Chains A and B, each alone.
Chain A
């Protein structure tokens, strides 16, 4: 009898592997490669501009140590470049699935929307983690090669440059590079923080996908609100904005702005924990809203 026939068991790992495989699309890899190359180009440009004066910004000279390079990669993935990459990943995955109406076909194979959503978010975070590691290693290799080709000394700074200490005039040559390296613990912390930020980006983009059910709509509403509200960081409203929480959590050094991260110039807050908690709460709210949107019957109808 049909009902008593033995059926193959569901394997969660098979599903996760499939989700990662589904990321293998030209736009995702194109955007990921562009992000990595842009991060490299920014660091190399800063190195070369410093090399011509014989001194380097410590944020760049530190990249010759692997943990510092990984930390810088985490900064990039938690700011504008990571936001755009996340938008592309979610738009080509979930956005396209909803736009084309494939979402209902998937739901006939896995009706637990929470599980589907968790897998998609997990796959996007896995891509982000891989991207951070690849970018970090490439930054480290590139700056190590540059250090040999154009050996320059770093500009000496007071300890804790990440806190915004003013640079002092260069004293005697300092060798060897670097002076301001991150520890492995700091690198791991930055990567973990970047993943939390990425979870917020992924959730916002998924919410946008569920609301507008289109590729371009996902990009616009997934990335747009954070870009649109960026100017407000310069007003007293800053402590209530995710931009500020991100800057606080990652302890973004003002000196490295537009070089090792592309984000606002919010003055750092001495309490990154508050930013972290606020971000986690925002990510949880966005993820829940996205889940509710993806669960609705509206999400099963393709748009015109």
Chain B
């Protein structure tokens, strides 16, 4: 299983097997390599996502998760390899971008702007009409009451919610969330779970990275494990030899068993 993902697709117990949407390749990466100067960050990464599935991206700090997400979203250009979104190879075209939603890194928006104005700016940037979607999205992430407050007064959790809102704004067919639970309270964690499940049920593919192993365990159909820029394991938890009944501590042991201590040579 090392270096290649396992394509068995099983839906989580939360969604139930009957909720599985029809399969359709939304994203595929082939031999993606990326480095910064002499430092290699991604080495020959393969992966694919199908419509309606939720895939967790796991790895220690510096494993290459964020870089991989930046490559997929077209923000970074791979040194070699191919990324295909919705059947078309990158570089990204507007028709591909309109189907992609992403929240990457720490959200950093203009401090003097309000939450509503910030989302409006993002929609304007894409030249997309509002049509009530800003209000709906703000409601989904629980920011309706704070929508007209300046972002400088937002807490870390509220900024994180706004980042998730920015990812949902286009009703994407591929949703990419980089550590979406950072800074969120328990209610926020539940919100993220709910949103991810709703988006997958709607037919969107979701790629989510997190260090909250129990979250990944609860919401993802499959996991992809990165270590030192390589995919070291991919597939369903079941196929990778993890027993869902064995509890969070066992999941942690299982995780470290696969990725090692993450130290670079």
Give the interface of A toward B (CB within 8 A).
1-3, 5, 7-8, 10-15, 17-19, 21-22, 25-26, 96-97, 100-102, 104-112, 116, 297, 300, 302
- In the complex, what residues of B have CB within 8 A of residue A101's CB? 105-106, 108
Stretch at the interface among B56-64, B90-98, B226-234: B90-98
Q: By the criterion CB–CB under 8 Å, are A8 and B24 in contact?
A: no
Q: By the criterion CB–CB under 8 Å, are B127 and A106 in contact?
A: no
Q: List 30 A-B contacts (CB under 8 A).
A: A1-B24, A2-B24, A5-B173, A7-B99, A8-B131, A10-B98, A10-B126, A10-B127, A11-B128, A12-B127, A15-B124, A15-B125, A18-B123, A21-B120, A97-B110, A100-B111, A101-B106, A104-B75, A104-B105, A105-B109, A105-B122, A107-B75, A108-B100, A108-B101, A109-B128, A111-B74, A111-B92, A111-B94, A297-B75, A297-B76
Q: How many residues of chain B are within 8 Å of chain A by beta carbon?
A: 50
Complex partner residue of A8 from B104, B107, B128, CB under 8 angstroms: B128
The CA-CA distance from A12 to B120 in the complex, in Å, is 15
Q: By the criterion CB–CB under 8 Å, are B22 and A1 in contact?
A: yes
- In the complex, what residues of B have CB within 8 A of residue A97's CB? 110
Q: By the criterion CB–CB under 8 Å, are A108 and B202 in contact?
A: no
Indicate if B102 sits at the interface (CB-CB under 8 A): yes
Q: Return A34 CB to nearest CB of chain B, in Å.
A: 19
Decide yes or no: A302 and B75 within 8 Å by CB, A10-B98, A10-B127 being known contacts. no
- In the complex, what residues of A have CB within 8 A of residue B107's CB? 105
Would you list the 4 A-B pairs with minimal beta carbon distance, nearest first?
Answer: A18-B124, A2-B203, A101-B108, A15-B127
Indicate if B121 sits at the interface (CB-CB under 8 A): yes
Q: By the criterion CB–CB under 8 Å, are B110 and A109 in contact?
A: no
Query: Which of B92, B106, B121 has the most chain A CB atoms inside 10 A of its CB?
Result: B121
- In the complex, what residues of A have CB within 8 A of residue B102's CB? 108
The residue in chain A whose Cβ has the minimal distance to the Cβ of B174 is: A2
Q: Return B239 CB to nearest CB of chain A, in Å.
A: 25
